[in-house]
Structure 1
């Protein structure tokens, strides 16, 4: 059997470590450029004000491209298989990072970021791959391991990028291109296909665009509800990420090192929870209770962040926050068993598209809340207001998830019947 054909059950199971390595290298490659991109932008722009404007444009353009193309890549993976889409995206990312390494100006750099946003949307095919090869008993565990691989890559990438950036601002881009090339070769020779030819469906632009993909979710009320819940969760996360450094510096006087260590603590603890504990928790509580417990813990963590009076208290709620990471793999597991095998890519694409759109809006909300409630003329100075708003958003996420999960099909050894388009 050729590598482009669907894998046998044994080879599908063997595909789990391969896809985890692929995701790790993919995220590591992305994270390498995070510490040095602002410096390269400043190098071209010449002043801080202009650099800030260009950085905002690049961050927004990256998310917009993910919003636009995540459904298309997901739909393409439903038609041609996960392997081809993943390999094409990884190859494109390698070429793009090489282009960024030698970009002669801001316009070229912006164009490269647009392409980077497009290739980063391949996470939809990776999620669909995990859905393809996972059975009911190990679905949440596999999604948790994928979240752990993602987290490890995101922790290691910026650290390595910062070290290389000390040598030369363009060196991390070259390293990212090299790692992407290795990732492509690894997948080309090792990664098996996960989607059976019998479960593939024709590609249609009507469902491959962001609006069409969201409309397709309406055929699955459970998935639509979980997508809405996940949107609220991502909104809260985006608000938190935007104000984290601003808040801790304002409230506790933390330095760049302090903030870096705190964010690394969140990442490492989340990796442990998703990579090691998620399977045991789901086995004991079930997927629905795991989702609701995770959302509740995250809400408690946000309230704790906003009310913390000392840095050590804040660190205590980081541990609570880490355990809230059990919700995402459980949501992915419910979604995977709710839809047919031939539409996993399209549904994962719709999820990624919504999250990308939310990440465009969330930083604006978080920055505005922090500015309003910490300004010298604030009627009621409340530095923790962004976290309280995030907690309220998570409460809404929990209510929506509870409604959707009551309508989810019972977990079982077989997949639900496919709904026709």
Structure 2
């Protein structure tokens, strides 16, 4: 028990440092993008389109890479695979720490796109698999919520730091913290010990590929096949509905992320400091929700009901953004996130219960890969919508129309969430495992 607690504490610190570094640059990057592409303007369609294209490419890369890293972590260890995104995420930050002129921005844009194809979401995905290795099923949803709360706390601290730092210092500090996260993980994070589990209560969990028989690096033999995902989708109604909900939640969330800051800059002339203030409020609300409320509400309501509650308030949260009529409305909307961030921890917990402990990296990689597919699709929809309705050529006056469409996607997820019943492990899903075994 002491070793488990020690491992989790180091994992939480790893996630905190990584998220602190990643999140603190968010308020500044919008101003840098606008300055590089459209100097002196508050509305810039090319910036919106480039951001959307970047997110779509990142989503496509993550769709391919994330399940692979998750699966490889089942064989070669969570810590080994965590080192990959932690290392690569340093380099784009170093570029803007050195200079933020137009050509350095383009260099950052290209490198950030390539690196994020490998790194985006993978630290959190592997951290979830780590938690699933060492935490019993009955406590898993609460610990997943705590992990997300740690990320929200890093979000608050990162944006608070940005509020009082210059733009140059923001990227310098972010790069330094990214290096510290890598060193800390290498020195202190222990590799979790995974016990072999042949069966659970008499039912075999043989849906995914068997663990490789040796540690020789074999990328294609350890990569999850498309049949792995189809197997779970066709044999577990819980996983199927969780995947559908995850898809629409991430379509909406990425739509919000790709549109909101540009919408606020065009409508209310927000700058780096106001972006930071807004994100701090949202982050504090999320931290309170996941660190304090979720451990209480999961046992009281159950994961399914809490999922629906979170989706409903998330829908209201985005709808308020879309109809913001004054500069104070976005701040009020951000407060609602205290009740809207339950969805993904609940979904990840439900997915983790569909397989045994030796396959957690695979199942988390699969569900996160579905989210990555949504991240690829979403910018292709919301970036053109945002650019159109913020321009002078909008078919009707509704600057927040793209955000309203994101709220509609969440409403679809909310309705779908009622189809999820209790999490029942996969019982009869046999793949041709012999194909992945050594001859």
Give the TM-score of the pair, scaled to structure 1. Answer: 0.80
2-side partners of 1:23 and 1:270: how far apart? 16
Q: Is the 8 Å Cα contact of residues 33 and 161 (structure 1) preserved in structure 2?
A: yes
Which of 168, 182, 185 aligns to 1:184? It is 182
2:77 is matched with which residue? Answer: 81
2-side partners of 1:216 and 1:340: how far apart? 15
Q: Is the 8 Å Cα contact of residues 234 and 358 (structure 1) preserved in structure 2?
A: yes
Which of 202, 220, 237 aligns to 1:205? It is 220
Report the CA distance shift for 1:214/1:155 in structure 2 as closer, same or farther (over 3 A): farther
1-side partners of 2:408 and 2:38: how far apart? 41
2-side partners of 1:250 and 1:101: how far apart? 27
Unaligned runs of at least 5 residues, structure 1: 1-8, 410-414
2-side partners of 1:408 and 1:65: how far apart? 30
Residues paired across the two proteins, number: 403
Report the CA distance shift for 1:418/1:74 in structure 2 as closer, same or farther (over 3 A): farther
2-side partners of 1:21 and 1:387: how far apart? 34
Report the CA distance shift for 1:382/1:401 in structure 2 as closer, same or farther (over 3 A): same
Unaligned runs of at least 5 residues, structure 2: 198-209, 213-217, 432-439
1:30 is matched with which residue? Answer: 22
1:30: how far off? 2.2
1-side partners of 2:263 and 2:270: how far apart? 12
1-side partners of 2:278 and 2:28: how far apart? 20
Report the CA distance shift for 1:62/1:390 in structure 2 as closer, same or farther (over 3 A): closer
2-side partners of 1:96 and 1:379: how far apart? 38
1-side partners of 2:294 and 2:355: how far apart? 22
2-side partners of 1:319 and 1:107: how far apart? 36
- Structure 2 residue matching 1:78: 3-state secondary structure: helix
1:336: how far off? 1.5
Q: How does 1:248-287 map to 2 (within 5 A)?
A: 248-249=264-265, 253=268, 255-256=270-271, 257-287=273-303
Report the CA distance shift for 1:393/1:116 in structure 2 as closer, same or farther (over 3 A): closer
Task: Please state which structure has a larger fraction of its residues in helix.
Answer: 1
Give the TM-score of the pair, scaled to structure 2. Answer: 0.78
1:5 is matched with which residue? Answer: none
1:324 is matched with which residue? Answer: 340
Report the CA distance shift for 1:258/1:39 in structure 2 as closer, same or farther (over 3 A): closer
**RMSD (Å), alpha carbons:** 3.6
| Deviation sequence 1:230-253 (CA, Å, 0-9, x none) | 1101111122223323444555x3
1:385: how far off? 2.4
2:207 is matched with which residue? Answer: none
1:280: how far off? 0.7
Q: How does 1:12-411 map to 2 (within 5 A)?
A: 12-34=4-26, 52=47, 58-94=54-90, 106=106, 110-111=110-111, 113-120=113-120, 121-158=122-159, 160=161, 166=167, 168=168, 175-196=173-194, 198=196, 201-202=211-212, 205=220, 208=223, 211=226, 214-218=229-233, 219-249=235-265, 253=268, 255-256=270-271, 257-373=273-389, 375-376=391-392, 378-403=394-419, 405-406=420-421, 408-409=423-424
Report the CA distance shift for 1:43/1:300 in structure 2 as closer, same or farther (over 3 A): closer
Matched, 1:10 2:20: no
Report the CA distance shift for 1:389/1:417 in structure 2 as closer, same or farther (over 3 A): same
Q: Is the 8 Å Cα contact of residues 96 and 116 (structure 1) preserved in structure 2?
A: no
